[in-house]
């Protein structure tokens, strides 16, 4: 189903940007898992609009309501229902696009697929839907933490401003130390200034988020179609504004010879199997090998810009259109918890599938 994701740890999201609210049903979460609702709220707070000068001024508390599946702080094994009410809606901000197609939005394609669309903020195509994923991902994250797995993402590039070192050389504890969510303070300042300048020009800017998962055991992933990196790629490419995904050495690996790119195995002093390099990004044959999993996700500039643009309406007539309302000049800072969530959902699902695949 197009509104569901996962196999054993499965989520289904519902709701629209300007409806009463959005929500998610999580099915397959094991019983007896201690879940801290405050952690779910903390994840939503990182994604919510209106959190800083660099994000959209739409003000949503994004207060999570638990409808089912938790009792006395633990999962019951039944579906977990989470709901987030919409509060700060201004549907009139979108009346001018009722019959017009915004450049690089889903307006035209939704009309072609369904013959009818909710033009208020894009309906289901709005990035507001991702709040439901973040709520579900926060539950998945607590399952992973139970097994010693940690997921962290950070902004590694905004426009042409990029972090000059890899994740291994960064203190990832600094991710939330600045508005951009970049753990390299000097670069974070340059990124923030670029976003401000872009906003003041009524334009938008894209960039890259790097994701890292540590403590992942060997053996997660399926050998053919549901390879771990394929599922991660699908998860990331389902996020609004994502244009590309690469893991491990990615495209840069094409510049190396096999003798340079191969990750040689060895046994460390603790008797653990390790690799001397990690060009594979912690995944080989579609299955985790116990090393860090790392990847990069490219986000395009936000499509809504507060500048006049030429387009057409649903009658094929040429019209001029300028964005209205409240929009992010750069989606990267708020997208970090979304990347975290989708990573956690994939790993939680693969963890349960791995546990079911052998005695």
Residue numbers belonging to the annotated binding site for NADP(+): 47
Binding residues, as ranges, are: 47, 124-126, 240-241, 285, 300-304, 326
Residue pair 266/274 in contact by the 8 Å Cβ criterion = yes
Residue pair 62/47 in contact by the 8 Å Cβ criterion = yes
Sheet holding 10-15, edge to edge: 4-5, 10-15, 21-27, 80-85, 64-68
What is the β-pairing status of strands 265-267 and 273-275?
antiparallel
Residue with tokens 């599946």: 69
CA separation for the pair 166, 75 (Å, rounded): 37
CA separation for the pair 229, 245 (Å, rounded): 10
Task: Give the phi and the psi of residue 142 in degrees, each rounded to 5.
Answer: -70, -30
DSSP β-bridge partners for residue 18: none
Residue with tokens 């090998």: 289
CA separation for the pair 220, 41 (Å, rounded): 28
Residue pair 279/253 in contact by the 8 Å Cβ criterion = yes
Binding residues for FMN, as ranges, are: 124-126, 240-241, 285, 300-304, 326
CA separation for the pair 199, 71 (Å, rounded): 45
Q: Residue 359 corresponds to which tokens in the numbers above?
A: 């005695």
């Amino acid at each position: 189903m197009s509104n569901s994701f996962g196999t054993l740890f499965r989520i289904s999201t519902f709701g629209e940007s300007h409806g009463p609210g959005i929500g998610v049903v999580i099915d397959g979460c094991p019983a007896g898992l201690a879940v801290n609702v405050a952690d779910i709220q903390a994840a939503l707070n990182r994604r919510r609009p209106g959190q800083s000068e660099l994000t959209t001024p739409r003000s949503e508390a994004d207060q999570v309501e638990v409808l089912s599946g938790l009792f006395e702080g633990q999962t019951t094994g039944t579906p977990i229902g989470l709901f987030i009410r919409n509060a700060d809606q201004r549907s009139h901000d979108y009346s001018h696009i009722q019959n017009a197609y915004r450049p690089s939005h889903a307006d035209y394609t939704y009309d072609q697929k369904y013959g009818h669309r909710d033009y208020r903020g894009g309906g289901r195509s709005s990035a507001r839907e991702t709040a439901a994923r973040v709520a579900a991902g926060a539950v998945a994250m607590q399952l992973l933490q139970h097994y010693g797995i940690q997921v962290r993402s950070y902004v590694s590039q905004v426009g042409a401003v990029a972090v000059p070192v890899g994740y291994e050389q960064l203190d990832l504890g600094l991710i939330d130390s600045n508005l951009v969510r970049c753990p390299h303070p000097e670069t974070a300042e340059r990124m923030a200034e670029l976003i401000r300048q872009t906003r003041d020009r009524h334009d938008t800017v894209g960039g890259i988020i790097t994701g890292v998962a540590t403590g992942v055991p060997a053996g997660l992933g399926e050998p053919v179609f549901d390879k771990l990196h394929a599922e991660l790629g699908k998860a990331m490419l389902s996020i609004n504004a994502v244009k590309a995904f690469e893991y491990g050495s990615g495209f840069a690996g094409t510049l190396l010879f096999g003798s340079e790119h191969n990750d040689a195995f060895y046994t460390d002093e603790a008797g653990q199997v390790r690799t001397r390099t990690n060009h594979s990004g912690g995944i080989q044959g579609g299955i985790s090998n116990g090393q860090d999993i790392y990847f990069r996700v490219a986000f395009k500039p936000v499509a809504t810009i507060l500048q006049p643009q030429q387009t057409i309406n649903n009658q094929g007539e040429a019209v001029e259109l300028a964005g209205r309302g409240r929009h992010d000049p750069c989606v990267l800072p708020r997208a970090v918890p979304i990347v975290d969530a989708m990573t956690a959902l994939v790993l939680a699902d693969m963890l349960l599938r791995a546990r079911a695949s052998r005695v």
